[in-house]
């Protein structure tokens, strides 16, 4: 026979276990921000940091050390753009600010918004790689056949582990959708300049 | 549902009349246990049929029978059906039948919730299996459901996610019920350290379930919103990370592996002492080993992801932590062997299956240690070596333990002894064919055959053919099992209440078949009746 | 049923025996390959060490069990002992495995550190996984190409092809354009993917690494012996996951230099191909080849497709409709469907050839499409 007392105890057990269940469901979602923090601490997914120019210039420089930074550009096949770095690699001194450019061109007859996602290999180097300026901070819009040089300013931290000699900064450009003429008129989502289309672009359009 | 009337029946010692009252509205732990076991058996054959189509296609190189996308649907749903439809419900069924009887409780703590948690399952699987008949077919991204691939699925994504939510709710309700029963419903005198190991392992499993099933629910919910509501949890273009999903999934997935195997440890720890006529060796060590395996299962998940490109520190941590699991698992195996040592063994069907479990599970454990070595895993990962490993652990581990448990308790459930000769035929056919089926897959994996492929290079042809032959013999041998159960339910030699000469424990103090209601009077238990009644 | 059981068990043994006998003759691969890199050999030795440790433990444990099963049985009149525990025994069989594990952990750690610590790389190759092909970019040389399942395997693997895979050399393990690399050169691999996660694996190199869209992964290798090494995609990536092999051809440094020069010449050649005007016969022949390697896995060799996911080309309004629309569909894909954009994958002359082939073969159109026509169509 179940007595009143065991009923009461059982009810308490249910409340506690149900509480655990709800908590763990929440935990799954909490893992999303937790994972991002974890990645920032460990560099697990190759995401890079962003710093201000002031922070960057406050760092001391180790002029004797050289690190090779490779650049790479990937275009997702859903985006009809051309995209590649200006130079394949740079020798940098950790602590100093450097700038380089990536070339992007819209090959379509439509204005398209793209978003670049950065990634650094090896993952552990990403912790020591930060940018003061980057086209990946915002969405980029290119008009039909517009081409543009997109800049990135970065710094490799002097704290970079001794055993890292080469690192790769890779961007993948994804399609965030085409713009309708109405949106274009309203100037929505437009971050790139409209006026720069060149004769080369016109030639390929013809 | 008229719970008031069914509840009344709890106080009488007769079965409710009529199909609806007896089965649909039942709150009796034994009837619900039976329902779970029958459901598990059906799903075992559903999942098994899919496995046989897979092995048929892989019998020789070239595509003969199925299209590649249907093959992927089969591998995906085979896994989901076997894990969530066969193994987990079978253990919940065993828990329902046996835990109240083993701890001297009149029923589960929450009989009505028990009814719901079972009746959700058929709906969950009807939803999942219905996707086979839809445009675009069933889910085909593997049971691990990795994005972005899973997001390419069509309608089936919503159905799959909903089915998994239902299965999760069912498992969580089952787990809460077991915890509430074990913590509150033990008969006076049934101390924690006198509980049978099956009860112990299930208690720990139940805690694992409530800790990780909600995490899976969260992960698939995120897939749902990524697919239908434009979120980017796992979409790189929107700032998400597909690897994040793998971390969340395996945070569930690794404890899930122990959810499937810990109750098996309990079953084997019940059976071996009975047929060795000798108390279980190292009872407390077994309890602690189970608890430490459960604890370790939370900190090893990323060993499923050695190839995603983790930093060195992460790889080393997960490699060491994974290797540690070998220690409590080893303790269990050594204790089982020591229990057999100097015993007076007989080899009835349950003992045969239990011995096969110890040997073959250990082989699965060995390949597990090999897989834990991260640099070697760069070779083993996602090959047939892994397929062989987890089938040794889950087929000759979990499923062999379930079959052993059925042979062990079937006389108690039905009141009849079964045909030992037939049972031995079932055993020998299964144990030989299962090795023909899975052992060559080690070689295939080492030689370079990836998993989840519908067609393969010709140098893999011989072992695939052997494996497929083993699969068909193993699959059809299981029909013997169904026939034997059917015959035993229908009739046979009357079983005594003790059934087995060396049997000890409260379940053997009640008549066979066990009356519809047992331990109604809440009487104190007698230490002499218990397997672990003495001091340890 | 028992009779059947006996029969099938017996048959199994006969087949098993026969196969094992032939195995001994054919020298079937039973074990992990030693491979051709220092890392793969380290991994092989690690694998063998752990395997032997497991075998020794297995022999001891199973030996004790078998001894006990034979000696300590009731039918032999053995009386059961009643001991229930021994703290000493538990301590021993906790401690000894710990020691064994620590001994195994040392070489494992050493090998892992070597793998994760690439130093002084000589060249970089970027590997991009697509559904269901690989792209290799030689970053230092500035060229790249796609690598897909070769035509013979692709035809034989179609359901109902009637072609015996045994007659195809390197069935499913051959590509149209292998990755050519020099030996004794430290090569850094950067891996990413376009659509879903893939995993690049060549057993002879000793590792596999996931290619994840939006992320860049790295790995490295130094091949010690010239030769052709084959592998496959190892991460489930959809329908044709089983049909995207990896083939690495390791050649001497001199041969590699020659090959690079040839490839650079080929780029010039390709540009010429895109400029010239093609005859219909040339387009049809080339188009069929491209159709069978690129399109037939979904649309089928006979163009009937596998509706609804992969529509028939024979009945298609696109194939019969205006040429401009069809070029647009092939070049830029059709968002929201399985039709991907081939403009990034095939050259203009290849696109012209395959479109000419499809329109003439399946659409009863009498069109000739030139590379310049393809180049003129932009995304709208």
A68 within 8 A of A90, measured Cβ to Cβ: yes
Q: What does the pLDDT average to over B33-49?
A: 96
Within 8 A of B183 by CB-CB distance, chain A residues are: 9-10, 13
CA separation for the pair B137, B139 (Å, rounded): 7
Count of Cβ atoms closer than 10 Å to residue C24 Cβ: 9
Per-residue confidence (pLDDT) for residue C306, from 0 to 100: 75
Q: How many interface pairs between B and C have CB atoms less than 8 angstroms apart?
A: 336
Lowest mean pLDDT among A19-23, A59-63, C254-258: A59-63
Count of Cβ atoms closer than 10 Å to residue B419 Cβ: 17
Enumerate the H helices of chain A as residue ranges.
4-42, 53-57, 123-126, 181-186, 199-205
Q: Does the domain made of A49-205 have the CATH classification 2.60.370.10?
A: yes
Within 8 A of A77 by CB-CB distance, chain B residues are: none
Count of Cβ atoms closer than 10 Å to residue C239 Cβ: 23
Cβ separation C214–A174 shorter than 8 A: yes
Per-residue confidence (pLDDT) for residue A205, from 0 to 100: 31
Task: Identify the CA nearest to A35 among candidates B243, B220, B221.
Answer: B243
pLDDT at residue A45 greater than cutoff 70: no
pLDDT at residue B323 greater than cutoff 50: yes
Q: Identify the CATH assignment for C31-73+84-117 out of 3.40.50.720, 3.30.110.40, 3.40.1710.10, 1.10.287.90.
A: 1.10.287.90
Cβ separation B375–C61 shorter than 8 A: no
pLDDT at residue C331 greater than cutoff 90: no
Closest-approach residue (CA) in chain B for A9: B184
Question: Which position has the higher pLDDT, C346 or B341?
Answer: B341
- pLDDT, tens digit, for every residue of B105-161? 999 988 999 999 999 999 999 999 999 998 888 999 999 999 889 988 888 899 999
- The superfamily (CATH) of domain C276-376 is Cytochrome c-like domain (1.10.760.10)
Question: Which position has the higher pLDDT, C333 or C239?
Answer: C239
Distance from CA of A67 to the nearest CA of C (A): 11
Residues of C with CB under 8 A from a CB of A: 116-121, 124, 126, 128, 130, 139-140, 188, 190, 192, 194-195, 213-218, 332-333, 335, 340-341, 343-345, 375, 378-380
Question: Which position has the higher pLDDT, A183 or B90?
Answer: B90
Task: Identify the CA nearest to B118 among candidates B254, B235, B25, B252.
Answer: B25
Distance from CA of C298 to the nearest CA of A (A): 18
State which H helix or E strand residue B44 sits in. Answer: helix B29-57
Per-residue confidence (pLDDT) for residue B264, from 0 to 100: 96
Cβ separation A24–B211 shorter than 8 A: yes
Active-site residue numbers of B?
78, 107, 143, 170-171, 254, 256, 258, 269, 303-304, 329, 332, 451
φ, ψ (nearest 5 deg) of residue C37: -125, 160
Torsion of CA B291, B214, C214, A120, to 10 degrees: -40
Per-residue confidence (pLDDT) for residue C380, from 0 to 100: 67
What residues have CB less than 8 Å from C228, skipping those under 6 apart?
A: C178, C247, C248, C249, C250
DSSP letter at A137? G
B326 within 8 A of B364, measured Cβ to Cβ: no
pLDDT at residue C76 greater than cutoff 90: no
Q: Are strands A67-75 and A140-142 parallel, antiparallel or unpaired?
A: unpaired
DSSP letter at C223? B
A120 within 8 A of A46, measured Cβ to Cβ: yes
Cβ separation C240–B448 shorter than 8 A: no
CA separation for the pair B197, B490 (Å, rounded): 31
Q: What does the pLDDT average to over C348-369?
A: 86
Within 8 A of A1 by CB-CB distance, chain B residues are: 106, 520-522
Q: What does the pLDDT average to over B284-307?
A: 93
Q: What does the pLDDT average to over C310-327?
A: 83
- pLDDT, tens digit, for every residue of B435-448? 999 999 999 999 99
Q: Tell how far CA C130 is from the center of its chain.
A: 12
What residues have CB less than 8 Å from B57, skipping those under 6 apart?
A: B63, B64, B65, B66, B71, B454, B455
Is cis: bond before B463, omega within 30 of 0?
A: no
pLDDT at residue B325 greater than cutoff 50: yes
Interface predicted TM-score (ipTM): 0.89
Of C4, C73, C94, the CB nearest to B327: C94
| Mean pLDDT taken over chain C | 85
Closest-approach residue (CA) in chain B for C157: B62
Positive or negative CA dihedral for B397, B398, B399, B400? Answer: positive
Interchain CB contact of B158 with C (< 8 Å): no
Q: What does the pLDDT average to over C113-141?
A: 89
Output the CATH code of domain C123-271.
2.60.40.420
Task: Identify the CA nearest to B236 among candidates C344, A47, C332, A124.
Answer: A47
pLDDT at residue B518 greater than cutoff 70: yes
CA separation for the pair A119, C245 (Å, rounded): 26
The β-bridge partners of A73 are A171
C329 within 8 A of C341, measured Cβ to Cβ: no
Distance from CA of C142 to the nearest CA of A (A): 9
Positive or negative CA dihedral for B60, B66, B68, B73? Answer: negative
Q: What does the pLDDT average to over B503-521?
A: 89
Is cis: bond before C132, omega within 30 of 0?
A: yes
Token pair, residue C328, equals: 């647009």
| Mean pLDDT taken over chain A | 77
pTM recorded for the entire structure: 0.86
- pLDDT, tens digit, for every residue of B362-413? 999 999 999 999 999 999 999 999 999 999 999 999 999 999 999 999 999 9
Per-residue confidence (pLDDT) for residue A193, from 0 to 100: 34
Q: Which domains does chain B have, with CATH numbers?
A: 3-529 (1.20.210.10)
pLDDT at residue B1 greater than cutoff 50: no
CA separation for the pair B211, B172 (Å, rounded): 9
Distance from CA of B83 to the nearest CA of A (A): 21
DSSP codes of every residue in B7-18: HHHTTSSSPPSS
Token pair, residue A12, equals: 């308490």
Which strands sit side by side in the sheet containing C198-202, from one edge to the other? C179-182, C245-251, C227-233, C198-202, C207-211
Lowest mean pLDDT among B2-11, B366-375, B426-435: B2-11
Per-residue confidence (pLDDT) for residue A50, from 0 to 100: 63
CA separation for the pair C72, C64 (Å, rounded): 11
- pLDDT, tens digit, for every residue of B71-90? 999 999 999 999 999 999 99
Q: With bands split at pLDDT 50, 70 and 90, how would you rate the model's confidence at A2?
A: low
């Amino acid at each position: 026979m179940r007595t009143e007392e065991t009923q009461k105890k059982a009810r308490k057990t249910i409340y506690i276990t149900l509480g655990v269940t709800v908590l763990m469901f929440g935990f799954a979602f909490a893992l999303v921000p937790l994972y991002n923090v974890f990645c920032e601490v460990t560099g697990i997914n190759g995401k890079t940091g962003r710093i201000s120019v002031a922070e960057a210039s406050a760092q001391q420089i180790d002029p004797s050390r050289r690190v090779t930074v490779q650049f790479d550009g990937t275009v997702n096949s859903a985006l009809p753009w051309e995209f590649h770095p200006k130079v394949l690699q740079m020798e940098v001194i950790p602590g100093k600010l450097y700038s380089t450019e990536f070339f992007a061109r819209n090959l379509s007859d439509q204005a398209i918004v793209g978003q670049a996602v950065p990634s650094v290999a090896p993952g552990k180097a990403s912790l020591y790689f930060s940018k003061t300026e980057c086209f990946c901070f915002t969405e980029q819009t290119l008009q039909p056949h517009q081409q543009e040089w997109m800049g990135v300013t970065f710094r490799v931290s002097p704290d970079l582990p001794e055993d890292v000699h080469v690192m790769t900064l890779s961007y993948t450009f994804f399609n965030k959708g085409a713009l309708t003429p109405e949106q274009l008129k309203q100037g929505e989502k437009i971050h790139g300049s409209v006026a720069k289309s060149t004769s080369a672009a016109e030639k390929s359009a013809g | 549902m008229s719970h008031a009337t069914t509840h009344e029946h709890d106080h009488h010692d007769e079965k409710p009349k009529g199909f609806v009252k007896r089965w649909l509205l039942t709150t009796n732990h034994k009837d619900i246990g039976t329902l779970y076991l029958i459901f598990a058996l059906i799903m075992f054959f559903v999942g098994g049929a899919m496995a046989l189509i897979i092995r048929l296609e892989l019998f020789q190189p070239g595509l003969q029978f199925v299209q590649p996308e249907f093959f992927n649907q089969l591998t995906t749903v085979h896994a989901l059906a076997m894990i969530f439809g066969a193994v987990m419900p079978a253990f919940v069924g065993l828990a329902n039948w046996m835990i109240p009887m083993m701890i001297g409780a009149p029923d589960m703590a929450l009989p009505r919730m028990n009814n719901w948690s079972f009746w959700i399952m058929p709906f969950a699987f009807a939803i999942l299996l219905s996707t086979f008949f839809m445009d675009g077919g069933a889910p085909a991204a593997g049971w691990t459901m990795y994005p972005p691939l899973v997001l390419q699925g069509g309608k089936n994504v919503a159905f799959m996610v909903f089915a998994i939510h239902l299965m999760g709710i069912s498992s969580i309700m089952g787990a809460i019920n077991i915890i509430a029963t074990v913590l509150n419903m033990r008969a006076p005198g049934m101390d924690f350290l006198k509980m049978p190991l099956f009860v112990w392992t299930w208690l720990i499993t139940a805690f694992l379930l409530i800790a990780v099933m909600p995490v899976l629910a969260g992960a698939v919910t995120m897939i749902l919103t990524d697919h239908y509501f434009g979120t980017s949890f796992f979409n790189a273009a929107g700032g998400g990370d597909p690897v994040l999903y793998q971390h969340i999934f395996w945070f569930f997935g690794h404890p899930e592996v122990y959810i499937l195997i810990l109750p098996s440890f309990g079953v084997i720890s019940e059976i071996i002492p009975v047929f060795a006529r000798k108390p279980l060796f190292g009872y407390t060590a077994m309890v602690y080993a189970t608890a430490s395996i459960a604890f370790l299962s939370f900190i090893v998940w990323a060993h499923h992801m050695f190839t995603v490109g983790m930093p060195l520190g992460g790889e080393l941590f997960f490699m060491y932590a994974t290797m540690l699991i070998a220690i409590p698992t080893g303790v269990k195996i050594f204790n089982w062997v020591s229990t057999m040592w100097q015993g007076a063994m007989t080899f009835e069907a349950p003992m045969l299956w239990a011995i096969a479990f110890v040997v073959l599970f250990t082989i699965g454990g060995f390949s597990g240690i090999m897989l834990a070595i991260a640099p070697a895993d760069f070779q083993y990962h996602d090959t047939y070596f892994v397929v062989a490993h987890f089938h040794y652990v889950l087929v000759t581990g979990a499923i062999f333990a379930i079959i052993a448990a059925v042979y062990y308790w079937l006389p108690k459930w039905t009141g009849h002894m079964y045909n030992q000769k037939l049972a031995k035929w079932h055993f020998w056919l299964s144990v030989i064919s299962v090795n023909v089926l899975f052992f060559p897959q080690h070689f295939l994996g080492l030689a370079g055959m990836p998993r989840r492929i519908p067609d393969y290079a010709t140098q893999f042809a011989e072992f695939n053919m052997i494996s497929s032959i083993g699969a068909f013999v193993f699959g059809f041998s299981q029909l013997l099992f169904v026939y034997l159960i059917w015959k035993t339910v229908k009739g046979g030699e009357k079983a005594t209440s003790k059934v087995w000469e060396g049997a000890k424990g409260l379940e053997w103090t009640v008549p066979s078949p066990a009356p519809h209601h047992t331990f109604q009077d809440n009487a104190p238990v007698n230490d002499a009746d218990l397997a672990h009644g003495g001091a340890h | 049923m028992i009779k059947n059981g006996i029969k099938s068990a017996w048959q199994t043994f006969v087949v098993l025996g026969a196969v094992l006998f032939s195995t001994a003759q054919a020298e079937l691969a039973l074990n992990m390959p030693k491979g051709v890199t220092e890392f793969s050999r380290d991994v092989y030795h690690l694998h063998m060490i752990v395997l032997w440790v497991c075998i020794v433990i297995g022999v001891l444990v199973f030996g004790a069990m078998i001894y006990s099963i034979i000696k300590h049985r009731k039918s032999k009149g053995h009386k059961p002992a009643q001991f229930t525990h021994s703290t000493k025994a538990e301590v021993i069989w906790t401690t000894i495995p710990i020691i064994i594990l620590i001994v195994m952990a040392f070489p494992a750690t050493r090998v892992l550190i070597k793998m994760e610590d690439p130093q002084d790389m000589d060249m970089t190759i970027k590997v991009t996984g697509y559904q269901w092909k690989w792209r290799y970019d030689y970053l230092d040389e500035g060229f790249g190409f796609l690598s897909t399942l070769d035509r013979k395997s692709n035809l034989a693997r179609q359901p109902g092809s009637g072609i015996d895979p045994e007659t195809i050399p390197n069935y499913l393990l051959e590509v149209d354009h292998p990755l050519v690399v020099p030996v004794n050169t430290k090569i850094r691999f950067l891996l990413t993917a376009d659509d879903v996660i893939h995993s690049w694996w060549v057993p002879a190199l000793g590792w596999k690494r996931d290619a994840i869209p939006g992320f860049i992964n790295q790995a490295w290798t130094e091949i010690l012996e010239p030769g052709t090494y084959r592998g496959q995609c190892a991460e489930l990536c959809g329908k044709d996951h089983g049909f995207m092999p990896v083939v690495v051809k390791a050649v001497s440094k001199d041969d590699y230099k020659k090959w690079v020069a040839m490839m650079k010449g080929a780029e010039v050649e390709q540009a010429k191909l895109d400029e010239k005007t093609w005859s219909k016969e040339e387009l049809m022949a080339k188009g069929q080849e491209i159709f069978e390697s690129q399109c037939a896995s979904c649309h089928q060799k006979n163009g009937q497709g596998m509706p609804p996911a992969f529509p028939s080309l024979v009945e298609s309004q696109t194939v019969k409709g205006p040429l401009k629309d069809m070029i647009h569909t092939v070049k830029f894909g059709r968002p929201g469907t399985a039709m991907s954009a081939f403009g990034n994958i095939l050259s203009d002359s290849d696109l012209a050839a395959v479109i000419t082939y499809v329109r003439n073969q399946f659409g009863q159109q009498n069109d000739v499409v030139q590379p310049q026509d393809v180049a003129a169509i932009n995304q709208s």
